[in-house]
Structure 1
Amino acid sequence: MHRLVALSLGGGDRFVTELQRAWDAGDAVLPVDQRLPAAAQQSLIDRMGASIVVDAAGRHRRRGGWAVEPGDALVVVTSGSTGEPKGAVLTHAAIEANAMATSSALEVDPTTDRWLACLPLAHVGGLSVVVRALLTDTPCEVHDGFDAAAVADAARRGATLTSLVPTALQRTEASAFRAILLGGSAMPAERPQNTVATYGLTETFSGVVYEGWPLRGVELRAVGDEVQLRCPMLLRCYRDGTDPRPDDGWFSTGDAGAVADDGRLSVFGRVDDMITSGAQKVWPVAVERILAQHPGVAEVAVVGRPDPEWGQAVTAVMVPADPTNPPSVDELRDAVKSQLPAYCAPRAIELVDTLPKTPLGKTQRWRI
């Protein structure tokens, strides 16, 4: 029987060793986020049906787990940005396809390049770095999460490639790396030329679209404004056995977007996030990009609030840079109207101390 092995370990050499050990035995691996409280980690392990747990104290068998299929490599928990997380079952063939396509796009040379994995290994942003390094025999340094000083030191010692989220990029000397894969949340309005904006999902084991262009073997289309993709990187199913792929293999991402005639993808945001105000469609991400550039805005999320006249009122939920002197709604409206139609401008502001986020910094809009 092929088992699911839960790796309840921080980033480092032991994680990589135990990952390879499980694969050599024909087992699949569930990385467990070490930032979760102990009770939440145990609940996750139970829900995903792991038969073995590897933690700081050793290797433990547990009852109640169930088998994985031959060829299964990973069960990676989705970020939960839209609700309850799910476990995406990824095969060895899928993760190899991802590793090879990524390495080809970046022209990775194992003799001169060196990967740095400095994002949490329970999510594809960090885990995919380790996996593609293993599968391409490219040297890799694995950190236990992001630390700006440690990242700078790794670059001085020869790391040339890494994967970051925008919040980490702000604390990194980007020029120290040959290339930086950037994903996880909305891209900064301005960013270094050696960064690569990626689009992908847990279900594709990280980015499969670079700067709007699909990687080798990836097909894209938009159906009813929703992005769909078909590629060898896709999950086999979720851990509960449900298969989100129809017979033709096209996976509905839940993201709104469009594919241009030349094949380039534009993503507007989650389909469920779209605001309909006075019969007009407003995509929150486009408005947020403009508001985030206002000096009085530290963080912002745009949502639709019920409104008797407009159906939904465009509302800016904002963390002000200076809580004693937040920008006015008229200031923010003027900023948006300078770049977008007037109906996209917020009609109200809600001031908050923080915005709810996933561990990788994605705003959990459904909780606002």
Structure 2
Amino acid sequence: MTEAQADPDGPGAHWPALRFGDRTLTYGELAATASPLAARVTEAGRIAVWATPTLETAVAVVAALLAGVPAVPLNPKSGESELGHIVSDSAPTLVLAAPGTQLPPTLDALERVDVDVDIDVRGTGAASPATGAPAAIGHPGLTPETPALIVYTSGTTGPPKGAVIPRRAVAATLDALADAWQWTGDDVLVHGLPLFHVHGLILGILGPLRRGGSVRHLGRFETAGVTRELSEGATMLFGVPTMYHRIAETLPDDPALAKALARARLLVSGSAALPVHDHERIAQATGRRVIERYGMTETLMNTSVRADGEPRAGTVGVPLPGVELRLTEEDRTTAVEAYDGETVGEIQVRGPNLFTEYLNRPEATAAAFTEDGWFRTGDMAVRDPDGYVRIVGRKATDLIKSGGYKIGAGEIENALLEHPGVREAAVTGEPDADLGERIVAWIVPADPQSPPSVDELADHVARRLAPHKRPRVVHHLDALPRNDMGKIMKRALTHG
């Protein structure tokens, strides 16, 4: 942070902090809006935030951080059952929402507090750009272990679990990313991600605030918005693979988008693997490489390709500063020592970026950690000789044991996506009496009238990878099932 930014009466208070569409708050206005709200909720225990992609959500979370009260971001698209579970489990006393927002009946029992960001806050000049930084706000009773957020997991293996994320983890992750990405107060971030999860909220909103920079939220992702913001001074873009896929599809017919992306300092993708094919299309059109990082709700960020490192497609880079990472065998304790780009192991991590516990779930918390404090991610990966990590899939859904080999679904998916007849691809395993498991490909063909055959795709994969990694079964679909973050929901794929 510069001297001008650190001075609460200096020009930094008038610098833009948050912009959503045509609505902007400077740092001084953010303080003037969030501070009285923080005073209002200080004794609330826990507060729910109706996390629409709006200024009001960002202000509500900053107010919660100022007050030292854990915020529970609620996905506005959650169904009645899921929302009811989250509210019952986290037991907030208040719900913060934008004025005029219609909330579902599930929240009727909670006291509602409207977040009014349209009050007259001009000329306050009462804050430095550190207002949003967890390490620089709050009352003296707060500690690094004080819960900042309770973020609920996707619930793919049962009801969503509330990951209690302490202030220490938020600060550690954002500062480690500042090192890896050379992220400063001069950066202006543009993104169109939802604000009820780690990527959109912690990285996308609290990250720029901690650096003293700015964020411009698109409200809703559109390539035209990306073009506009990167052409008007934004330096970084955060997105998920579905967004970058849309960008890759649009680039051939949109030279303005290509020019805007070429101006960006950093293009970051996360939440799921970005197909190598999309990496290459974007790089060819813009001259810029998308970098990937790897994180989870429970761990925040673990690894990233560094801004000063090689932006190698298909990898998530190296461990961030302060994060320990190891791969383990199937017993989940024996370390995999190989750095050969082939030997698969489960990723386990340890460091200040980790969550504290699953709320109300001591048994689940205990099961998630080894006795010596490593968190079991359930993600499978290999390591290249130079330490770059390549994720090959989830232990539960993406590790296929076929013919004596351990095979990651991710590399087969990338190979399939290089076939011109494949628009989207997912790979799973199904029982096979001879092989143990056979590889099954789920394909959205580029031309539904002429989809590629199983033999054609099997030969394609065998040439690129190895014969034992070829799919034995191919299903053709109109679309792959995805969640709000664009992740493919493989449990929704049924063999038929």
Tell me the TM-score normalized by structure 1: 0.90
Distance 1:302 1:339 in 2: 16
Q: Secondary structure at the match of 1:171?
A: helix
1:10 to 52, 71, 79: 52
The corresponding residue for 2:475 is: 350
Structure 2 gap segments, 5+ residues each: 1-42, 102-106, 112-141, 248-256, 306-315, 330-344
| Amino acid paired to 2:264 | F
Describe the superposition over 1:307-329 as per-residue Cα deviations: whole angstroms up to 9, x where unpaired.
22322221111122222211111
The corresponding residue for 2:198 is: 124
- Larger mean CA deviation between 282-291 and 300-309 belongs to 300-309
The corresponding residue for 2:136 is: none
Describe the superposition over 1:164-183 as per-residue Cα deviations: whole angstroms up to 9, x where unpaired.
11221233443242102111
Distance 1:137 1:35 in 2: 31
The corresponding residue for 1:134 is: 209
| Contact 2:56–2:97 (8 Å) recurs in 1 | no
Distance 2:219 2:79 in 1: 17
The corresponding residue for 1:96 is: 171
Q: Residues 284-295 of structure 1: matches in 2 within 5 Å?
A: 284-295=409-420
Distance 2:386 2:66 in 1: 43
The corresponding residue for 1:228 is: 348
1:109 to 184, 207, 210: 184
Describe the superposition over 1:293-342 as per-residue Cα deviations: whole angstroms up to 9, x where unpaired.
11211211111122223222211111222222111111001101102221
Percent identity between matched residues is 33
Q: Does 1:240 align with 2:360?
A: yes
Distance 2:441 2:409 in 1: 9
| Contact 2:303–2:317 (8 Å) recurs in 1 | no
Distance 1:207 1:163 in 2: 17
Q: 1:116 to 1:207 in 2, by over 3 A?
A: farther
| Contact 1:12–1:143 (8 Å) recurs in 2 | no
Tell me the matched-pair count.
Answer: 364
Q: RMSD across aligned C-alpha pairs, in angstroms?
A: 2.5
Distance 1:289 1:321 in 2: 15
Distance 1:145 1:83 in 2: 29
- Larger mean CA deviation between 154-163 and 78-87 belongs to 78-87
2:147 to 72, 81, 90: 72
Decide which structure has the larger Cα Rg and report it: 2
The corresponding residue for 1:265 is: 389
Q: Does 1:250 align with 2:374?
A: yes
Distance 1:10 1:63 in 2: 18
Distance 2:423 2:65 in 1: 44
Q: Secondary structure at the match of 1:170?
A: helix
Higher helix share: 2
| Amino acid paired to 1:267 | I
Describe the superposition over 1:206-252 as per-residue Cα deviations: whole angstroms up to 9, x where unpaired.
45333421111111111111111112111111122433334422111
Distance 1:138 1:62 in 2: 38
Higher strand share: 1
Distance 2:387 2:432 in 1: 38
2:271 to 180, 184, 203: 184
Distance 1:81 1:138 in 2: 35
